[in-house]
Amino acid sequence: MKYKKIRSDLQREAESWKPAFQEDLKTEPVTPAKGDEWYLEGTRTRKTKPAFKIAAYVAAVMACFLAVFVSRTQLKQRVDAIVYLDVNPSVSLEVSKDEKVLRAEAHNADGEKILGGMKLKGSDIDVAVNALIGSMFKQGYLSEQQSTVLLSIESGNEQHAETLRKELAEEIDAYLTQLVGGASIYDQSIQEEETLSKLAQQYHITPGKAFLIQRLIDADLGFTYDELAGMNMAELAKFLHQHGHALKEYLNLHGIDLDDIDDLEDLAEELLEPEDDDDSDDDHDSDDDDSDDDRDDDSDDDRDDIDDDDDRPAAPAVQSYKDDDEDEPDEVYEQDDDDEDDEDDDD
């Protein structure tokens, strides 16, 4: 009993000694130790093991390499230029900065036929373009009678677009020269526009051909978009040429020029066409004169031939012999008369 009383007295006395700022300490923020506080003096610090440091360093280096690899991969996968090909098949190739094909797309049914099952992704752009040109040749879209190609390059990098345009134009020209003996390669650089994409989708052509037709319409040549967009490139080039216009006025040209073909055809016609009547009369007169001169020359030649024949012992000798035989009887007859006269005189 006395023990319980003593315990309660001690508990009551301890509660009376409780500091007043106890509640404030519960809400006071804790400041982390920096290592040099007085209450840390004499305590042991835990040392980091060398193996852990090496692993942490290797992990950091690997993270850096991974970041660089991912960034370079993303850079390579980014489209730097688009190559458009129009013959009648219309096809586009998205190209990376290192000129690798990222994606191939057909813009019409003929383009889908040309692409077929070809897997061009990852191949060099020149290899992919040659593969498409070869497919167009095998399926009859390119031949000796129809060998006109439109090459268009779209890129935000003008220098790269210009370099790519020249290289591919020369590559296509050389390849088609081997296949069909020659071709007309028209090429251009274009800039992306929303209106071009809409026109390309509407007429099932590439934005490159849409850009060309828009230039022809803006030149006020008197043609409509529907009229020009429905033609393949060979038909379009010949159509403009027949109306006194030339595609080379709006595009760069590699290979055969239609003007040169016309010059050759005109030259052939001049060589084959008959001459004028006046010229024929003059020629006739001159021919008469020449014929007279020829006759004189021929007569002289005949005389020379006769003289030459006299030297021959064949036919002329026989003829002269016969003449002598015919004259001989007269001479003999006269000789006989003379003899008779002499006899008479003697008598």
Taking a C-beta distance cutoff of 8 angstroms, is the pair 120, 102 a contact? no
pLDDT over 50 (residue 190): yes
Q: What is the pLDDT of residue 194?
A: 87
Q: Give me the phi and psi of 92, to 5 degrees please.
A: -125, 150
Q: Which residues pair with 143 in a beta bridge?
A: none
What is the per-residue pLDDT across 198-252, written as a single tens digit (0 to 9) for each? Answer: 999 999 999 999 999 999 999 999 999 999 999 999 999 999 999 999 999 999 9
Q: Which amino acid is at 51?
A: A
Mean pLDDT of 89-115: 95
Contacts of 303 (CB under 8 A, 6+ apart): none
| Higher-scoring residue by pLDDT: 109, 67 | 109
pLDDT band at 332 (very low <50, low <70, confident <90, very high): very low
> What is the chain's mean pLDDT, rounded?
75
Taking a C-beta distance cutoff of 8 angstroms, is the pair 128, 104 a contact? yes
How far is C-alpha 266 from the geometric centre of its chain's CA atoms? 28
Contacts of 21 (CB under 8 A, 6+ apart): none
Mean pLDDT of 255-283: 63
Q: What is the pLDDT of residue 110?
A: 96
b/e string for 96-127 if b means 16 or more Cβ within 10 A? beebbbbebebbbebbeebbeeeebeebebbe
pLDDT band at 261 (very low <50, low <70, confident <90, very high): confident
What is the per-residue pLDDT across 29-80, written as a single tens digit (0 to 9) for each? Answer: 766 656 555 555 555 555 555 665 666 666 766 666 565 444 444 445 699 9
CA distance readout (Å), 322 to 309, 312, 314, 329, 330: 18, 17, 13, 12, 14
Q: By mean pLDDT, which of 19-28, 43-52, 157-166 is the weakest?
A: 43-52
What is the per-residue pLDDT across 305-327, written as a single tens digit (0 to 9) for each? Answer: 544 544 554 444 444 444 444 44
Contacts of 160 (CB under 8 A, 6+ apart): 80, 81, 97
